[in-house]
Amino acid sequence: MKGSCLERNVFPENEKGIIRVRKESVGMRGVTFLLFLVVALLAGVPAWSGEPAYRQGVDIFIETGVDQPDRAPTWYAPMVAKPYSPVFEILATRGTQGRYYPYTYAVTMKDIVKFHGHDCEGLSHAAASAKVAFGILFPDGIIDRSVLWGISGTSPCWSDAIAFLTGARMQYGNLGFFKDKKYGHAIILYREDTGIAVLATWKQGISNIPDEPVVLPGKISWTPQVNMEEVMNLKRVVKKADGKQTPYQVDQMRYYQWKHINDVFNRPLEESYQVKVLDNFKWAEWVDAKKSIPNPHQRTDTRLKNDLYRKRPVSLE
């Protein structure tokens, strides 16, 4: 990368909702870094995790598919066996002061469930939304957690999924909650090295949160096995926790959620989830400042990810 001119992918959405790709020339590495730093300071961006990204197969060579994803179904993650249950190829750094690994590791819903503490439909919906968004942010399929920021609603299911998949954290200022409550079951993933931000959520037809709008216009063209109106009516009773729900209703709601997620993951995720690239994205315009840390810590564990290698096998240079 040193001394070379980079190209970055930009993914504007056309009038039909199809993502197209164009190439924009970006200056040399140091110039890009300085320009981003200036923009970040002007925009009030609180965290910086490294220099601009690599180009896979050109100036970095990452091997994917070398870690077998855990797709064996179990009682706490039955959906992993479904053909379109999301699998993520994650790129990390070696230790707290290391370079990029030359390989990715695989993450499935089983890993996310263990992090969150239990299986729930929100966890799966958030992960699936992220998977579709990552298709735009990382077209090579390699998810670099060192450059990601995330915004979600306050639901622990959605926020935990985004924290796990992006590596963003409150203490670094790159994990936030939506200012507008109508985005409670949507996410924004922001890639700081390219400056691309993507809003992702479910489509109308699999959404089952009572009295909450779907914030993007897409609708499903298939028929779910579970009637969403029945689910929403049941949730209105059970989630109020006012003593009117019966043990049967509690069990029935869980059954509906289990059946629904397994149904959704039987078909391509793009049939059930939708994304939009956000032009001129500004973090402060979307995030609830009252739920943010005013003086976040500087992240240091990825600062050497692009460090040069030694010229010799043994060298003190």
- Delimit the domains of the chain by residue range: 48-291
**pLDDT of 151 strictly over 80:** yes
Of 316 and 175, the structure prediction assigns the larger pLDDT to 175
Mind listing the pLDDT tens digit for each residue in 245-265? 899 999 999 999 999 999 999
Distance CA(253)–CA(239), nearest Å, equals 10
Counted residue by residue, the chain has a size of 317
Q: Mean pLDDT across the stretch 280-293?
A: 96
Q: What confidence category does residue 50 fall into, taking pLDDT thresholds of 50, 70 and 90?
A: low
48-291, which class in CATH? alpha beta
Highest mean pLDDT out of 16-20, 148-152, 192-196: 148-152
Average pLDDT over residues 170-192: 96
pTM of the model: 0.83
